[in-house]
Chain A
Amino acid sequence: DSGVTQTPKHLITATGQRVTLRCSPRSGDLSVYWYQQSLDQGLQFLIHYYNGEERAKGNILERFSAQQFPDLHSELNLSSLELGDSALYFCASSVDSPHTDTQYFGPGTRLTVL
């Protein structure tokens, strides 16, 4: 158990819909990262938040957005969903820097868009 929790575990929805994925980081970790993992694209970094502020963006679509709240939990919002958005979405947390700190991954949310 990494100490990172993600809800829900599975999500099935239809094209065009909007969903919210939730992540609670390990106690004491200020950084939260979101990743997308799919068979064709592999592991893709989406976005990084540190103590409520966006720090870096990766391959995140404009239809996707995220935020980190004062209690440090984070949400990833996916809108106007397409079939290709079906993937495993991971949240990870670390104490601070992605440069050196170990990232602790949650169990993931499996999103299926029908």
Chain B
Amino acid sequence: AQSVTQLGSHVSVSEGALVLLRCNYSSSVPPYLFWYVQYPNQGLQLLLKYTTGATLVKGINGFEAEFKKSETSFHLTKPSAHMSDAAEYFCAVSADSNYQLIWGAGTKLIIKP
């Protein structure tokens, strides 16, 4: 069975610092991987996704993520945090056309001025 683990329900970084949000998955077949962001009082929106091809995926707002099969990870990074990045981030995985997305529990990113 597939599963997704997001390490840390809350991550706090200073403005300008590196953002690293961790996502590990379990899947017996090559997965498709997603990061979604939820700003306060809004619905979720796609940040980026990995389906096939290049393992380093660039998304919106300067975020990127790298699919590492050997580590079963899809960590989200951004070189320099902005106050506007404060939001909740969800990792999701799907590994079969019959499967719905399996969602992580979410990580709240807090930006300190």
Q: Which A residues lie at the B interface, using CB under 8 A?
A: 2, 4, 33, 42-43, 45, 48, 56, 58, 90, 92, 97-100, 102-108
The answer to whether A2 and B32 touch across the interface, beta carbons within 8 angstroms, is no
The answer to whether A42 and B43 touch across the interface, beta carbons within 8 angstroms, is no
Chain B residues positioned under 8 Å from A98 (CB to CB): 94, 99-101
The answer to whether A2 and B45 touch across the interface, beta carbons within 8 angstroms, is yes
Q: Which B residues lie at the A interface, using CB under 8 A?
A: 32, 36, 42-46, 49, 51, 90, 94, 96-101, 103, 105-106
- Most B CB atoms within 10 A — which of A48, A90, A103? A103
The answer to whether B94 and A58 touch across the interface, beta carbons within 8 angstroms, is no
The answer to whether B46 and A102 touch across the interface, beta carbons within 8 angstroms, is yes
CB distance from B75 to the nearest CB of A (A): 20
**For residue B97, which residue of chain A has the nearest CB?**
A99
Cα A33 to Cα B46 in complex, Å, equals 15
The answer to whether B43 and A2 touch across the interface, beta carbons within 8 angstroms, is yes
CB distance from B67 to the nearest CB of A (A): 14
Given known pairs A42-B105, A43-B103, the reply for A103 and B94 (CB within 8 Å) is: no
Cα A103 to Cα B51 in complex, Å, equals 14
